[in-house]
Amino acid sequence: MRSDRIVVTVAVTGSFNDRSNPVIPVTPQEIAESALRAQEAGAAVAHIHVRDVETGRPSMRFELYEEVVQRIRARSDLIINLTTGPGGRFIPDDQDPVGLGPGTGMRSPEKRVEHVIRLKPELCSLDVGSMNFGPQVFVNFPPHIEAMAERIRDAGVKPELEVFDMGHVEIAKHLIKTGRVLNPPIFQLCLGINWGMPATPRDMVFMQAALPSDAIWAGFGIGATAFSMVAQSTLLGGNVRIGIEDTLHLGKGKPTGSNAELVEKAVRIIRVLGKEPATSEEARGLLGLK
């Protein structure tokens, strides 16, 4: 496999913002079409969340995941990476510290991976640590992470280990050591989210150095750091992620019109640095999926 190839993941829609921003794909058709156009622009992997078609808010409905996957598979060899993040968001009740406040979305490990087990994408994300996540707490209780990892492994799906801080890397290593995640592991370094690892070159270098020696990895930053982290990850020999989940802008004061535009800019950066975006078929070899 050629060493000058970079796997570009498009993070199509995420869980934040809603129908008030028309650029955000919401319906299964919009999400699938946006992913397919991003592939034409250079993406090899699509990281998929789904949304309620009326409100645009995050959803976990199996039928929505199923429709997105079917639409993509019918027209493309794009690698599908389904999220398992929803179901771990906690907001306490101010009147009852152990109560669940409005906006909480806690689900069992079984529910969080149900769509993965049934649809069997090639990849799925697995968030391996808890953290303060903006105004919420992102709860990933270690026994629940272990249970999710076991179900993902037994379904024959490769987990992408999403790490937001240094302690998360240690939890991921535990999953690998105990056989819940098979080698070689795939890591996604998630930088710039309040209150996790900052999105700076120094912090990406620091985090990457802590990964297992055989790790396959990518990194991204959110908001204004998105494209500088594309460059940094490429320079360090990693893969990259970009998309509307991570940034709504092509540059300062310049909103993006689509995921494809974001991918096109990321590809330009990759090429300036002497690399090329991998096709989905090439990416399967690079990620150990075949």
Residue 2: pLDDT band with limits 50, 70, 90: low
Please give the tally of structural domains in the chain.
1
Rounded Cα gap, residues 23 and 59, in angstroms: 18
Rounded Cα gap, residues 202 and 217, in angstroms: 17
Q: Spell out the residues 6+ positions from residue 270 whose beta carbon is closer than 8 angstroms to its own.
A: 6, 8, 230, 234, 240, 276, 277
Global pTM value: 0.94
Cβ 75 vs Cβ 279: under 8 Å: no
Cβ 169 vs Cβ 211: under 8 Å: yes
Strand pairing category for 123-127 and 79-82: parallel
**How large a percentage of the chain has pLDDT more than 90?**
81
Compute the residue count for the chain: 290
- What pLDDT is recorded for position 64? 98
Query: Looking at residue 199, which CATH number applies to its domain?
Result: 3.20.20.70
Task: Show the domain range for 175.
Answer: 5-286
- What pLDDT is recorded for position 253? 93
Assign 147 to helix, strand or coil: helix
- What pLDDT is recorded for position 1? 46
Q: What is the pLDDT of residues 81-96, one digit of tens each?
A: 999 988 777 777 777 7
Which one is predicted more confidently, 195 or 38?
38
Task: Report the half-sphere exposure of 158 (CA within 13 A, side-chain side).
Answer: 19
Average pLDDT score, the chain: 93
Nearest to 229 by CA among 239, 237, 219: 219
Q: What is the pLDDT of residues 210-252, one digit of tens each?
A: 999 999 999 999 999 999 999 999 999 999 999 999 999 999 9
